[in-house]
Structure 1
Amino acid sequence: MSSKNDTEAFYTKLKAQLEDTTKFPAIYMYKFIVPSREEKIKQVHQIFNNIGAVIDTKKSSKGTYTSVTITVNMKSADAIIQKYKDVSVVEGIISL
């Protein structure tokens, strides 16, 4: 289990990498694995609602999980990280 310090260190490192390699605004691709339950997938859709995101979903071969790929124009590294934090409340989600 990760602690709050580990999570914050991860986001700090991610922000530095994004700022070093990306000129904003930029198209960013999020990839998540979500349990194949309609309410979980809807939660992810709602988090990215109204920001012009293109969302593609694909169920796993057994149908247990759904891959969610989101492509969206983001204004800053902080905005990207905020979306990761927003989706972290979805039970069972895995960020890739």
Structure 2
Amino acid sequence: MSSKNDSEAFYAKLKTQLEETTQFPTLYMYKFIVPSQEERIQEVHQIFDNLGAVIDTKKSSKGTYTSVTITANMKSADAVIEKYKEASKVKGIISL
């Protein structure tokens, strides 16, 4: 239960910071680390599929993980946070 409260507090703080420092709409950069399994990488791609996002991937030196960098035009702080929440459902993902 505390992890849900922790994530709600995190997203509330992030929203405040985004609204104070960013003028929307804006290009926003997401960075994730995912296990180097094609289905996990595709899940991340699908989350940003209809945004015209630029997605770059790079495997780690041992090939165990893949870094995914996504740049997308986001309309609001709420839209940014919604994508983070969707991405958090991908198994093994780490948001940076």
Residue identity opposite 2:79 in structure 1:
A
Matched, 1:6 2:6: yes
TM-score by length of 1: 0.98
In the TM superposition, structure 1's runs of 4+ consecutive aligned residues that sit over 2 Å from their partners are none
Tell me the C-alpha RMSD between the 2 structures. Answer: 1.2
- Structure 1 unaligned runs (5+)? none
Q: Which structure carries more helix by proportion?
A: 2
Matched, 1:42 2:42: yes
Match of 1:72 in 2: 72
- Structure 2 unaligned runs (5+)? none
- Aligned residue pairs total 96
For 1:50 and 1:81, how far apart are their aligned partners in 2? 16
For 2:24 and 2:77, how far apart are their aligned partners in 1? 8
TM-score by length of 2: 0.98
Overall identity of the aligned pairs, in %: 79
More deviation in 2-11 or 24-33?
Answer: 2-11
What does the per-residue CA deviation read over 1:39-63, in whole Å, with 9 as the maximum and x for residues that have no partner?
0000000000011100000000000
